[in-house]
A = this chain, B = another copy of it.
Amino acid sequence: MAKATYKTAGVDLDIYADSMARLPKLMTKTFSPQVMRLDGGFAGLFALNGPARQYSDPVLVSCTDGVGTKLKIAVAANRHDTVGIDLVAMCVNDAICCGARPVIFLDYVAMSKDDPVLLEQIVTGISSACQETGCALIGGETAILPDMYQSGEYDLAGFCVGVAERSEIIDGKAIRKGDSLLGVASSGCHSNGFSLVRQAVFELGGYKVSDPVPELGGKTVGELLLTPTRLYVRPVLDLLAKYGANDGIRGIAHITGGGLVENLSRILPQDCVPAIEKGSWPVPPVFDWIARLGEIDEAEMARVFNCGLGLVLVLRPDVAADVAASLAAMGLDCYPIGKIA
């Protein structure tokens, strides 16, 4: 009988050390002066008060999310540097809905066997999205779980903490009947509904990730579907600074699983309903393509996908046109889609 070691059991601590050596440079790129360095320590440390901001009554706003089976497409396409952007986006876009500035991010990566190159690609995406959104990537866990994942597959979970002064928290109480709804364009499916996408495109449509899709501009299926989730943090923080939380900006909804109506309803007071004008924004062709391949009916599309709007702002009516112009100036397409009734 052979002697058992961690290595024979599928966990090679030397390869793990190689993996861990690749991460610090990706993490430090995201560091602000508020990150307190404690190399080798058990936790990531972040001083809440920094040179730019002192909080008197801070509220921590925390979110967690994953990327779902979009990961299966990354694995099939062997392209791993975008799903980390999705991971960060799914969390930070939730945090800003409360009016919070995302400050900390941590990731959990689980894989069947250690693969330093793959891990570095994944965390490169996470790091770049953290830099873009001003989040410090101050911790994470890489779990090697032989027998739990198929070879080459992995799962990701992300965790974000944002901070806001208590008075800045957007809780929906400022929303009034008559407020304007402004939809902000998504970049595609973001990170929701990918089990349905995969059934429609691969199983029913018969496509492979490497197939080009001429009717959508000739990109491959993999390129189209791996388009990263849009990061709304900087534009929203700009708008909050300019128009005021609970003043001009009265509500923010991240459109994820559940679709437009369900996610918008999450932030509305009980006596308010969204009155959305059908056809008031262009549904990107990728959604029509998916619907056609899977023969998915309209109602199902609407409750699974963002259908072109990744974020909806509830605005005091008199600032709505101004906010739209500000977003356009930041390069984001947006559409007046209705009002609160």
A residues neighboring B (CB under 8 Å): 1-6, 8-11, 13, 36, 38, 40-49, 55, 57-66, 68-69, 71-72, 94-95, 97-98, 100, 103-104, 106-108, 110, 138-141, 143-150, 153, 155, 157, 159, 161-162, 166, 169, 171-172, 193, 195-196, 198-200, 204, 253-254, 265-267, 294-297, 300, 303-304
Contact A43 B63, beta carbon cutoff 8 Å = yes
Contacts of A72 in B (CB 8 A): 147-148
Contacts of A9 in B (CB 8 A): 195-196, 198-199
Contact A57 B62, beta carbon cutoff 8 Å = no
* 13 cross-chain CB contacts under 8 A: A5-B300, A6-B193, A9-B198, A9-B199, A38-B172, A40-B265, A42-B98, A42-B253, A47-B57, A47-B59, A63-B139, A68-B143, A110-B155
Q: Which residue of B lies closest to A265 (CB)?
A: B40
Contact A61 B44, beta carbon cutoff 8 Å = yes
Give me 11 other A-B pairs in contact (C-beta within 8 A), A48-B59, A64-B108, A148-B153 excluded.
Answer: A4-B294, A4-B296, A36-B59, A41-B172, A43-B94, A43-B162, A46-B60, A48-B60, A71-B148, A104-B161, A145-B155
Contacts of A42 in B (CB 8 A): 63, 94-95, 97-98, 253-254, 266-267
In the bound complex, CA of A136 to CA of B322 (Å): 40
Which of B58, B143, B294 is the one whose CB lies under 8 Å from A3?
Answer: B294
Q: Which residue of B lies closest to A39 (CB)?
A: B266
Contacts of A139 in B (CB 8 A): 62-64
In the bound complex, CA of A38 to CA of B95 (Å): 13
Contact B47 A141, beta carbon cutoff 8 Å = no
Q: Which residue of B lies closest to A297 (CB)?
A: B3
Contact A1 B69, beta carbon cutoff 8 Å = no
Contacts of A157 in B (CB 8 A): 108, 110, 141, 143, 157
Contact A303 B13, beta carbon cutoff 8 Å = yes
In the bound complex, CA of A294 to CA of B6 (Å): 11
Contact A41 B108, beta carbon cutoff 8 Å = no
Q: Which residue of B lies closest to A103 (CB)?
A: B60
In the bound complex, CA of A253 to CA of B38 (Å): 14
Which of B10, B11, B159, B303 is the one whose CB lies under 8 Å from A106?
Answer: B159
Q: Which residue of B lies closest to A200 (CB)?
A: B4
In the bound complex, CA of A327 to CA of B282 (Å): 65
Asked, given contacts A45-B169, A49-B57, whether A98 binds B38 with beta carbons under 8 Å apart, the answer is yes
In the bound complex, CA of A1 to CA of B300 (Å): 17
Which of B6, B57, B145 is the one whose CB lies under 8 Å from A196?
Answer: B6
For the complex of A and B, 8 pairs with smallest distance between CB atoms: A4-B294, A108-B157, A159-B159, A42-B97, A9-B199, A42-B94, A9-B195, A40-B266
In the bound complex, CA of A69 to CA of B144 (Å): 9
In the bound complex, CA of A100 to CA of B36 (Å): 14
Contact A64 B97, beta carbon cutoff 8 Å = no
Q: Which residue of B lies closest to A47 (CB)?
A: B59
Asked, given contacts A155-B110, A159-B106, A195-B9, whether A45 binds B59 with beta carbons under 8 Å apart, the answer is yes
Contacts of A143 in B (CB 8 A): 66, 68, 157
